[in-house]
Amino acid sequence: MPVPSPDATKIAFFTNEGTLDTLKVVRFTGEELAAYPGFVQEGDVRLFWLPGIEGLLVFSGRGLHAFSDNGAVDFPNRGDHRSYLYADVSIQADKVLISTIPRYGETPGLYQLDVLDNVFKQTDLRYPAAPEMAAELYLQPKWSFDGGKIAFTDGVDVWTMKADGTGRARLTNHAESNKEGKGNPARASYPFWSVGGMSLGYTLTVYEGKKILRELWVRKADGTEPGKLFSEELDSQFQVFQPEYTNPPFFDATDEHIIFTTLHEGVPNIFAVEARGGKARVLTEMGAIFPALLPEEGVIVYVSLEGNDERLWMMNSDGSEKRPFLLKPLKKDKDVKESTPK
């Protein structure tokens, strides 16, 4: 699960080399900067960079753990922000967007977290300040690249709103169509913005009789001009929880292609499809999951499954120049840290 830093100079990832799960931070060129041993690498663990400071978020069913060079980042009222099905985090330049349960037994909601003096300030975004249409659930939130808008789903439809919580708009009408029996039942998930903010993509699960289809759609940010880019039949309803389907698609740095993962001859691999429509093209053939884009370099970092092993690899966003990510040993000097997060 490689996670590039916002400035694309560093990559954080988990490794279980040796006898202890370890969170490592390395430069884009491969030099190891920090090692944090002792993290339990559970199936639902996700990793994010903190905005504006040198720090990381580790998000799982055990809660949300945050730390920086100055130690642990405290949460409001000592809440632990437990995860739940469809919970997610989205990072912008100076703030965190999180869909989560603040404490055990509470209602899931959408919150903005700002890091101030190593403490999170929390803002509840569930309820609009002025009367307007509002969603019942806020799942899989995603900042636009300029931080001006938020996309999310309510479990069925795709919504957008402004960063201040106003201007909520439902872009799809699957809930209404499902209720009225128009077409096949469907639910949207994993919305994602184009780099320029003019388009919005998402995946769609369609229940066509006994068949379950997973589709990739894109439309303008105002909800107009929808277009289906890709469709495939799933073996079962549980297949959507496999790594090749839980890693959200994303636009490449040019906004001309969408990168996503799916099965290719029974093996998960990375694909690209033109955002304006066209045939999907496989970028990897030996097995790959968890792609992530370094937009400044136009490079994709991913986990290669070649040889029944999981190792970090890199390639250009068109699939060319595949090469292993060569990790250089940790240097013991003042610029390198090796510790267990407090």
CATH, residue 333: 2.120.10.30
112-121, 246-255, 261-270: which range is least confident on average? 112-121
What is the extent of the structural domain holding 135? Answer: 46-338
Which has more confidence, 37 or 336? 37
Compute the distance between CA of residue 308 and CA of residue 73 in angstroms, rounded to an integer. Answer: 38
Which has more confidence, 265 or 207? 207
- Average the pLDDT over 211-217 and give the result: 92
**Is the residue at 292 inside a domain?**
yes
Under 8 Å CB-to-CB from 18, ≥6 apart: which residues? none
Q: Is residue 340 scored above 60 in pLDDT?
A: no
The top-scoring range by mean pLDDT among 77-91, 124-138, 185-199, 317-331 is: 185-199
Give the pLDDT confidence of 252-281 residue by residue, as tens digits. 888 999 999 988 888 889 999 999 988 899
Which has more confidence, 93 or 222? 222
Q: Output the pTM of the full model.
A: 0.81
Compute the distance between CA of residue 131 and CA of residue 116 in angstroms, rounded to an integer. Answer: 31
Max intra-chain CA distance, the chain: 65
The size of the chain, in residues, is 342
Q: Which residue, chain included where needed, has tokens 């916002």? A: 6
Q: Is residue 100 scored above 90 in pLDDT?
A: no
Which has more confidence, 17 or 46? 46
**Is the residue at 52 inside a domain?**
yes
**Is the residue at 170 inside a domain?**
yes
CB 201 within 8 A of CB 273: no
How many Cβ atoms are within 10 Å of 88's Cβ, its own excluded? 20
**Is the residue at 83 inside a domain?**
yes
Compute the distance between CA of residue 152 and CA of residue 189 in angstroms, rounded to an integer. Answer: 8
Compute the distance between CA of residue 320 and CA of residue 307 in angstroms, rounded to an integer. Answer: 20
H-state helical runs in 152-220 = 174-180
- Going through 20-87 in order, the beta strands assigned E by DSSP cover 22-27, 32-37, 46-49, 55-60, 63-68, 71-72
Adjacent-strand bridge partners of 193: 200
**Is the residue at 11 inside a domain?**
no
Compute the distance between CA of residue 34 and CA of residue 110 in angstroms, rounded to an integer. Answer: 32
Q: Is residue 242 scored above 70 in pLDDT?
A: no
**Is the residue at 29 inside a domain?**
no
Token pair listed for 129? 């300040």
**Is the residue at 312 inside a domain?**
yes
- Going through 235-279 in order, the beta strands assigned E by DSSP cover 250-251, 257-264, 267-274
**Is the residue at 17 inside a domain?**
no
Query: If you average pLDDT over every residue of the chain, what do you get?
Result: 82
Compute the distance between CA of residue 125 and CA of residue 68 in angstroms, rounded to an integer. Answer: 25
Nearest CA to 282 out of 324, 318, 322, 239 is that of 318
When divided into structural domains, the chain yields a total of 1
Token pair listed for 30? 């491969």
